[in-house]
Structure 1
Amino acid sequence: MEKSYQQYLEDYLQSFVNLSSEELTLFRSQLSIKEYAKKDFFFESGEIQIKMGFVCKGLLRRYYINEKGKTITTGFVKENEYATDYPAFIQQRPSKYYMECLEPCIIIELAYDDIQVGYTNFKSHERYGRLIAEKVLTIQTDRVESFLFDTAEQRYLNFIKDNPGLINRISLTHLSSYLGIERQSLSRIRSKIAKK
């Protein structure tokens, strides 16, 4: 049976184990939950992202469109991850990215203004904000370093290792764009690995 929205919210709140009852009450009052259909956008390029999203169910893709009109995938956001362009979000400036649902999604949302209220009133909220920032920064840094230090094949193998099961949920076109290689090259890499 499908979880209720309330159960998704309660499961999410359970991850914040050190919050006082007062903090939990505030946090619970600030959260909202929303369903998105496949191909809906959580936010689009040029928009200011006013809500942080925590993905309960579904999969999103972050991408931008370059000066030649080509779509470049820069990330995937799955269950138990945050849907955000974090640097733009914390500065409340327009994003350069699109965040599109590849599957129907259920997302818990927390508004930027409410996050600031939490930071002002509770030290633990600052700690959780820092942990989210560290996680997002690590993901972005790992991606940049993979282009600097890894071969295309290593990037593919690392993606599979770090994202078990995700390979069956995304298209080869999106994956090849994310890995920075042509689709034909990705097919060759996959064939080569399959023969090992």
Structure 2
Amino acid sequence: MDTLIDFILRFGDLNRQQIDYIMSKAKTVELKKQAYFSEAGKVPQYVGFILEGVFRFCYYNNKGEEITNYFVDEGNFVVDNQKFESQIIAVEYVQAITDCKLLVFSKKDWDDIGNTIVGFEMIKAKITQKCLALAVERRSPLIAEDATTRYLSFLEGFPNLVNRIPLSYVASYLGITQQSLSRIRKGIR
């Protein structure tokens, strides 16, 4: 729980009473590998802070192919933020790709925190802004780069993930086949 508070305190100040209030709203949840945190076709119910494990955001394209869009690991929030905040149906899946442990907040509890703690909405906005900027920073180079450079960018952006997640997800994220990824990996060893 200290990890969550340390993370939040990077974006604003909280006193002990406010920290205790936030922690009173948090529930510890464990998800097994392959379980969904939120699903396409449903309204996201929770925002979570990852204590252990890795999640991926994915969707199915018009050909029925599964596309991995993003990864989130320990020490970060996981949520389909726009759909969660607006309480509208998600178009992506958020799936555990390892066994995961996280602290979760329901929409009601998350809103209660924002309505009770003066300045928490600004903290949430700063966290969201940082997460979006990081996502863009990690995704943007993938558009114009060749496959090898995209893989090297992936290793730089997600240095602790390559040995923890299936290569099929990495290949999907990079927009290449698993065979191409294997060739790239052999070429840079």
Aligned equivalent of 2:40? 45
Distance 1:15 1:132 in 2: 9
Aligned equivalent of 1:13? 5
Does 1:58 find its partner at 2:50? no
Aligned equivalent of 2:81? 86
Q: Tell me whether 50-59 or 182-191 shows the greater mean CA deviation.
A: 182-191
The secondary structure found in structure 2 opposite 1:117 is helix
Cα-to-partner distance string for 1:95-149 (whole Å, 9 max, x where unaligned): 1111111111111001222222222232331232012211221133234422333
Aligned equivalent of 1:4? none
Aligned equivalent of 1:146? 141
Aligned equivalent of 1:186? 181
TM-score by length of 2: 0.89
How many residues in Structure 1 have an aligned counterpart in Structure 2? 186
Q: 1:156 aligns with which of 129, 151, 157?
A: 151
Q: Give the superposition deviation at 1:77.
A: 1.6
Q: 1:27 aligns with which of 22, 26, 39?
A: 22
Task: Say whether the 8 Å CA contact 1:86–1:136 is kept in structure 2.
Answer: no
Q: Give the superposition deviation at 1:165.
A: 2.5
Q: Give the superposition deviation at 1:16.
A: 3.7
Cα-to-partner distance string for 1:41-84 (whole Å, 9 max, x where unaligned): 11111111121011101112211011211100111121111211
TM-score by length of 1: 0.86
Q: 2:95 aligns with which of 80, 92, 100?
A: 100
One-letter code aligned to 1:69: G
Q: 1:168 aligns with which of 150, 163, 174?
A: 163
Aligned equivalent of 1:132? 127
Distance 1:10 1:155 in 2: 34
Does 1:111 find its partner at 2:119? no
Q: Give the superposition deviation at 1:157.
A: 0.5
Q: Give the superposition deviation at 1:166.
A: 0.9
Distance 2:120 2:86 in 1: 18
Distance 1:80 1:11 in 2: 7
Structure 2 residue runs of 5 or longer lacking an equivalent are none
Does 1:36 find its partner at 2:39? no
Distance 2:171 2:101 in 1: 26
The root-mean-square deviation of aligned C-alpha atoms, in Å, is 1.7
Aligned equivalent of 1:5? none
Q: Percent same amino acid among aligned pairs? A: 30
Task: Say whether the 8 Å CA contact 2:41–2:89 is kept in structure 1.
Answer: yes
